[in-house]
């Protein structure tokens, strides 16, 4: 069966803060717009239990915030489709082609807002224990470990926030990181103040053990050179992220880190193609900067389309 060909002014790939903000502004500019998402609508921030640094909110759940932005975009005619996976793109063609499992979209402009995914645990046996003790989403899976021993691996904001969240379930929680913590001071203080938490810095997880599920880990204390075995029920891994750009490899230039080079105007090397949010090579990556990128990309996409029509 032949795929349906659909013409759009704007195709946005990725439904995180950058993509949905771009959709909101594109829709308000009366551009026919669709947002395609291969994973979770809302992006990684949808899992955040309490965002306290987004203007206008003292505290807001990530899922609630992203649902609101999605509703705003849909209210101005934007279609958000998370069930038709993107399989192929041709960004250099005119019009640009975005092919999904069911459709071929011909777009005047494309906004790449695919964000990032969490880096996997770098131990060869880790895959054996995925969903059997090793997890990457505390909001999704934390409830499975009520009154259990939980480890959080990592030292940035995501790791410390995950640890603080998981203390509601854990009988005992270890935060293990190979160097020093990089998280906000407020989050660190909250973690250190919890009597159920032990923070192990300058420490690496070197081995995993367990029959059918994870049962224990071996850790190396780098400052003393001593190893220790810890009985644990789960590890939640927060050791960094990888940009979701494999779909565009060979289509557009990528940096050494795998991100898309684009300036503050979000324009890429290909006219009519914009990069927004964490997928764009930039120094600061925050929820507010993702929203700013989405705004910029959509407004300049609208300008690009008007220039084509003129």
Instruction: For residue 180, report the phi and psi dihedrals to the nearest 5 degrees.
Output: -100, 160
Compute the distance between CA of residue 175 and CA of residue 198 in angstroms, rounded to an integer.
6
User: Is 94's pLDDT higher than 80?
Assistant: yes
**Is residue 298 within 8 Å of residue 18, measured between CB atoms?**
no
> Of 64, 81, 84, 137, which one is the catalytic site residue?
137
pLDDT at position 39 is 83
Compute the distance between CA of residue 296 and CA of residue 196 in angstroms, rounded to an integer.
45
Per-residue pLDDT reduced to its tens digit, 241-262 = 899 999 999 999 999 989 999 9
User: Is 46's pLDDT higher than 90?
Assistant: no
Name the pairing type of β-strands 234-237 and 134-135: parallel
Helix (H, G, I), strand (E, B) or coil at 17: helix
Per-residue pLDDT reduced to its tens digit, 292-309 = 999 999 999 999 999 998
Helix (H, G, I), strand (E, B) or coil at 151: strand
Q: Residue 258: left (phi > 0), alpha (psi -120 to 50), or beta? A: left
> Of 141, 265, 278, 293, which one is the catalytic site residue?
141
Clarify whether 9 is annotated catalytic.
Answer: no
Burial 126-155 (b: 16+ CB within 10 A, else e): beebeeebbbbebbebbeebeebbbbbbbb
The pair of structure tokens assigned to 4 is 């349906």
Per-residue pLDDT reduced to its tens digit, 51-67 = 888 999 998 988 999 99
The pair of structure tokens assigned to 43 is 């992006």
The pair of structure tokens assigned to 162 is 């995950």
For each of the domains in the chain, give its residue range(s) and CATH number, in order of start: 4-117+241-309 (3.50.50.60), 120-237 (3.50.50.60)
Compute the distance between CA of residue 202 and CA of residue 224 in angstroms, rounded to an integer.
9
Per-residue pLDDT reduced to its tens digit, 115-155 = 998 899 999 999 999 989 999 888 778 999 999 999 999 99
What size, in residues, is the chain? Answer: 310
DSSP code for 51: B
Torsion of CA 15, 155, 222, 190, to 10 degrees: -150
> Of 9, 64, 131, 140, which one is the catalytic site residue?
140
Per-residue pLDDT reduced to its tens digit, 35-45 = 999 988 998 78
Clarify whether 141 is annotated catalytic.
Answer: yes
Clarify whether 266 is annotated catalytic.
Answer: no
Helix (H, G, I), strand (E, B) or coil at 233: coil
């Amino acid at each position: 069966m032949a795929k349906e060909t659909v013409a759009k002014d704007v195709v946005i790939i990725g439904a995180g803060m950058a993509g949905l903000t771009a959709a909101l502004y594109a829709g308000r500019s009366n551009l026919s717009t669709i947002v395609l998402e291969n994973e979770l609508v809302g992006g990684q921030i949808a899992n955040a239990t309490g965002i306290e640094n987004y203007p206008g909110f003292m505290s807001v759940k990530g899922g609630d915030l992203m649902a609101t932005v999605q509703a705003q975009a849909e209210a101005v005619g934007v279609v958000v489709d998370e069930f038709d996976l993107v399989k192929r793109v041709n960004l250099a063609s005119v019009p640009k082609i975005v092919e999904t499992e069911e459709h071929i979209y011909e777009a005047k402009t494309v906004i790449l807002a695919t964000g990032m995914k969490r880096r996997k645990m770098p131990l060869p046996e880790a895959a054996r224990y995925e969903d059997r003790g090793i997890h990457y989403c505390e909001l999704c899976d934390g409830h499975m470990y009520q009154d259990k021993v939980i480890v959080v691996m990592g030292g940035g904001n995501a790791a410390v926030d995950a640890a603080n969240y998981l203390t509601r379930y854990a009988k005992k929680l270890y935060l293990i990181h190979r160097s020093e913590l990089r998280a906000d001071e407020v989050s660190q203080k909250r973690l250190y103040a919890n009597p159920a938490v032990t923070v192990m810095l300058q420490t690496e997880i070197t081995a995993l053990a367990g029959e059918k599920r994870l049962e224990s880990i071996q850790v190396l204390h780098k400052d003393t050179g001593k190893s220790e075995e810890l009985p644990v029920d789960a590890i939640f891994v927060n050791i960094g992220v990888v940009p979701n750009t494999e779909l565009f490899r060979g289509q557009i230039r990528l940096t050494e880190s795998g991100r898309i080079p684009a300036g503050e105007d979000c324009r890429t090397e290909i006219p009519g193609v914009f990069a927004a949010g964490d997928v764009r090579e930039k120094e600061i990556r925050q929820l507010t900067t993702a929203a700013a990128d989405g705004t910029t990309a959509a407004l300049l996409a609208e300008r690009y389309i008007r220039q084509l029509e003129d």
